[in-house]
Structure 1
């Protein structure tokens, strides 16, 4: 009697087809060759199926992969022509695969370059704007063994989630605008800073794209003077928001009341779906001559264009947040009571801590006064007699 089995197709053929167009399996197999005892699917083929499993099931646990393969073996064979062995997706094989792909940084970098170049040429992607950003992820893992700490990705570091007690790793992503196509993906130790990452990322973009004629966009952590100088020295372009440190606050206090150039309106870019020109704010630009020493000791001098912009929407949001902080700080100050025997300086110190907590220093003035209270005591019980000695405290 013939037995009928039913397999869910879902998005599996589509995912595999897209990865086939991206040549993921072919590129991986060019850079990583399995050892002699490896049989069945190649590293590239197994990687494609594991990526499809993660995307379709939203699941990354290795032990679930083998059952998923068994449940979709006919769909996979019909889509790819690959024959799946009985132990094709065991967690041991996946562990070997993942360890191999992540063990050699130079090979991984070469893979990213070739894969990124293929995406740019295959899909004729625009290469005018490239973005790079990092974030950290906390994990509930045991600390690495002493002999593994020098090479471990999970480290203790500054936690943006206010959980310094948890291990974390850092993930970096470099994409192309406007589609957000990822070209650079890096998993980094969680105890490092972001500043040293931007110059290598820019150089990686240059190798992938084959030119420096693109705008490299990053956050304020990318605006380190040496980073900007290195990119300018390499004939690159960048767009970074400057942090409110150093000479920046002083320059803004000079420029904003008396702009050095004419103020111009700023408009949002139009699109085919929305061709209406919408004003987003106003601003002005000015040029500054910059000079610093880069990593190899070269003194770099270049002209830098500074953009000073004003957004009514952002200003309104900042005002609302400021009023909220002022209200919360005022409420906390009104609840402040002196402790027994506490002097005015100690109370004022606690009040200053409240102002710092709500970031309203200099916006609320706190005054603490000490009032001396004089008490007459006889030192004995009952009403004092006329000749009783009175002690004044």
Structure 2
């Protein structure tokens, strides 16, 4: 453990445009904020919460059309669910498999619990190398496979038939992490729990409520029953549960702002792709990954102008010269775009 490095959270001044953490740049209008405040004030915070009886699962089913046969587990963010799904398969010589580069917490948790970790390199364009993935599955027989769909930190969508091929051959649990599913043209949500070893994971963090720390996993009764045995009994809190239910009651507001970001994603991708020497990778998330000729110069110029984005360069060899740009409001995007055009 001493050799590991803690996940670093950037300390950002209040006057910065924060486009580094794939958060929604919009907040509820004052009328909804006032209504939410009233509901939060009435939350029974003197009592331990019972997430299973909170009513949130029913709202998730209604909003996202989740099968009645599928079971839902709530987590204190997707991070907690990733952790406990990994713990669920932790035994001597067990293997966790994930694609690479992808979300760093897959590997972190596998190593934390003493599991073998196998990473399958993506193709040079960040698409899925199906042959390599199938070979690795046949060789290592992983107890758990994580696939971010669309991928993070690249945003690149994988071919659905390739992901399905992995599900079909896997003998362990397959987790499709759809943290950015609200921004994607495709989803495995309707298949969660069918087959039995398929789990789909989502979060409220990317659609405007990162501060609630609320993720959810959908799967078969068999897998979710075993997961329930190791999840802490009071892992959620009343304030997050109340706020999440309120948010889903106003999903039309969320959807309206998601559509704004989708249009902005296409606009930014097109305009930046016109710059000489720049590669914009296709994205189905609320960010775009871009390769620049001089990544440090672009990053520093944006920071000098109080815009913070995510530098991927240095985190993985395949991400050399890459930045991840969270899609902001049209005004924020215009500021970022103007600086990039001046710099490249």
Q: Which TM-score bucket, shorter chain as reference? A: under 0.3
Indicate the structure (1 or 2) with the bigger Cα radius of gyration: 1
Structure-1-length-normalised TM-score: 0.21
Structure ranking higher on relative contact order (CA contacts 8 Å, 6+ apart): 2
Q: TM-score, normalised by structure 2?
A: 0.23
